[in-house]
C-alpha cells in the first residue's frame, strides 16, 4: 500500500525521499515564488494550458502591476513544457533571456518583467507533497482546514477589483457564533474546537465550491459569494443560519445548540470604493444582528 505523506511525520521525509528515488516518478511542475502564492506547486498535465497575468480570469492571477493582464501561457506538448509570451508589455524571460516561446528545462527560472514568478522542475511525489504541505500551512487555518485570514484578505481584494471592473455583483457574508465563550467556559476548549469544526462542515454543505470560505478570527468566519446579488445572498445566508440552528452539536453525552449572527453586504453599482470599506460595512451588519437579538441575518441592500 502506497504510503502518503503526513504533515506530522516530518522526521521521516528523507526516508520517504529515498523510497521515491528507488522508484522514480517525476512530474513537470511550476512552483510559484511570489505573493500569497509563494511555494504553491502546480503540475503541468498533458493538454493543459495555464495563463498567467494580472486578470482574475487567468488560471494563475497575480496582483502585480508589472504584469500584463494576460502575460504568458505555460503549456505541455508531448513530454516537453513550454512558456510563451502573450505580447506582454514588460516581456517574459527565462534565466534572464527574453523569449517569445521556449521549452523549459529542469531548474529554469521564469521572470515576468523583472520579477521571478516561478521555477520549473521535474519533481518527485515527495517534493510535491512537501510543497503542498507548506502551502497549506501558509494559507489554511490549522484547526478547521478552511482558508486563513491572511489568504482571505489577498483573495478578497482581487475579487473586489474584478467584480468592480466587470460590474458583476459580489456578496460578502460575515458571521460570528453566538455566546461561544460560554461553550468554552462550560465545556472546555476541546469542545469549542469540535464545535468550530462542525460549523465548518455544516456551512460547506450549503455553499458552492466557488464560494471562498475563511476563518477570520476566533469564532468569526467569512464567505465571499462570487457573482451573487443581494437578494440571493440573503436567501443563501438564511439557509446557513437555519442549518446551524437546527444542527445537533454533540460532545460526548452532551447535545449543544449553537447559533450565529450574520451580516450581508453586496458590491453593486460601485457602492463601495474599496475592499476595506466593504469589510467594514459587513462587520457593522453582523454587529447589528447581535444587537437585535442574535441568531439572525442583517443585510445592507444596495441602491438599485
Q: Are residues 293 and 145 in the same domain?
A: yes
What is the rounded CA–CA span in Å between residue 125 and residue 130?
A: 9
Stretch 278-286: mean pLDDT: 97
* 249 domain residue, yes or no: yes
* 153 domain residue, yes or no: yes
- Which residue is catalytic, options 219, 220, 250, 270? 219
How do residues 107-166 score in pLDDT, each as one tens digit? 999 999 999 899 999 887 777 777 778 778 888 999 999 999 988 998 898 889 888 888
| Contact in structure between 72 and 65 (CB atoms under 8 Å) | no
| The last residue of a domain, from among 67, 102, 137 | 137
Q: Are residues 278 and 156 in the same domain?
A: yes
Q: Are residues 149 and 290 in the same domain?
A: yes
Of residues 161 and 196, the one with the higher pLDDT is 196
| Contact in structure between 111 and 83 (CB atoms under 8 Å) | no
Q: Are residues 163 and 64 in the same domain?
A: no
| The last residue of a domain, from among 137, 159, 178 | 137
- Structural domain of residue 104, as residue ranges? 13-137
Q: Are residues 224 and 278 in the same domain?
A: yes
* 54 domain residue, yes or no: yes
| Contact in structure between 64 and 77 (CB atoms under 8 Å) | no
Number of domains in the chain: 2
Q: Is there a catalytic annotation at residue 49? A: no
Question: What pLDDT does residue 8 have?
Answer: 46
How do residues 5-17 score in pLDDT, each as one tens digit? 444 444 455 555 5
Residues ≥6 apart with Cβ < 8 Å to 61: 53, 54, 55, 158
Of residues 21 and 237, the one with the higher pLDDT is 237
| The last residue of a domain, from among 112, 137, 162 | 137
3 state SS of 267: strand
Instruction: Give the single-character DSSP code of 39.
Output: T
The domain that contains 206 carries what CATH number?
3.30.70.270
| Contact in structure between 40 and 53 (CB atoms under 8 Å) | no
* 3 domain residue, yes or no: no
Percent of the chain with pLDDT over 70: 91
Q: Residue 24: what are its φ and ψ, rounded to 5°?
A: -60, 135
Percent of the chain with pLDDT over 90: 67
What is the rounded CA–CA span in Å between residue 47 and residue 67?
A: 25
Q: Are residues 29 and 109 in the same domain?
A: yes
Q: Are residues 180 and 202 in the same domain?
A: yes
b/e per residue 191-211 (b: at least 16 CB within 10 A): bbebbbebbbebbeeebeeeb
Rg over CA atoms, the chain: 23
The domain that contains 100 carries what CATH number?
2.60.200.20
What is the rounded CA–CA span in Å between residue 155 and residue 100?
A: 30
Map 62-113 to HEC letters.
CCCCCCCCCCEEEEEECCEEEEEECCCCCCEEECCEEECEEECCCCCEEEEC
Angle (CA) 203 217 184, round 5°: 80
Helical segments of the chain, H only: 13-22, 125-139, 149-166, 180-187, 189-204, 230-246, 275-291
Stretch 198-222: mean pLDDT: 95
- Smallest Cα–Cα separation from 240: which of 226, 260, 255, 224? 260
Model confidence at 264, pLDDT cuts 50, 70, 90, reads very high
- Locate 207 and state its grid cell: 455553499
Q: Are residues 121 and 176 in the same domain?
A: no
Amino acid at each position: 500500500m502506497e504510503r502518503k505523506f503526513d504533515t506530522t511525520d516530518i522526521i521521516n521525509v528523507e526516508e520517504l525521499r529515498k523510497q521515491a528515488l528507488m522508484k522514480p516518478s517525476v512530474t513537470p511542475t511550476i512552483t510559484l515564488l511570489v505573493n500569497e502564492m509563494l511555494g504553491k506547486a502546480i503540475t503541468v498535465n498533458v493538454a493543459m494550458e495555464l495563463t498567467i497575468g494580472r486578470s482574475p480570469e487567468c488560471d494563475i492571477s497575480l496582483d502585480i502591476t508589472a504584469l500584463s493582464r494576460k502575460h504568458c501561457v505555460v503549456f505541455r506538448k508531448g513530454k516537453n513544457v513550454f512558456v510563451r509570451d502573450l505580447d506582454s508589455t514588460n516581456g517574459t524571460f527565462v534565466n534572464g533571456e527574453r523569449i517569445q516561446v521556449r521549452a523549459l528545462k529542469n531548474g529554469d527560472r521564469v521572470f515576468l518583467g523583472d520579477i521571478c514568478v516561478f521555477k520549473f522542475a521535474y519533481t518527485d511525489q515527495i517534493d510535491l507533497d512537501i510543497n503542498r504541505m507548506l502551502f497549506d500551512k501558509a494559507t489554511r487555518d490549522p484547526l478547521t482546514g478552511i482558508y486563513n485570514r491572511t489568504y482571505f484578505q489577498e483573495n478578497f481584494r482581487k475579487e473586489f477589483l474584478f467584480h468592480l471592473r466587470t460590474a458583476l455583483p459580489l456578496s460578502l457574508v460575515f458571521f460570528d457564533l453566538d455566546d461561544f465563550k460560554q461553550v468554552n467556559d462550560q465545556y472546555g476548549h476541546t469542545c469549542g474546537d469540535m464545535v468550530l469544526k462542525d460549523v465548518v462542515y455544516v456551512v460547506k454543505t450549503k455553499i458552492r465550491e466557488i464560494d471562498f470560505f475563511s476563518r477570520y478570527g476566533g469564532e468569526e468566519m467569512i464567505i465571499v459569494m462570487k457573482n451573487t446579488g443581494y437578494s440571493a445572498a440573503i436567501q443563501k445566508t438564511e439557509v446557513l443560519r437555519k442549518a446551524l440552528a437546527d444542527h445537533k452539536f454533540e460532545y460526548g453525552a452532551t447535545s449543544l445548540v449553537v447559533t450565529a449572527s450574520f451580516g450581508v453586504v453586496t458590491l453593486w453599482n460601485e457602492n463601495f470604493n474599496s475592499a476595506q470599506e466593504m469589510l467594514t460595512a459587513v462587520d457593522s451588519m453582523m454587529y447589528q444582528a447581535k444587537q437585535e437579538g442574535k441568531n439572525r441575518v442583517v443585510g445592507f441592500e444596495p441602491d438599485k
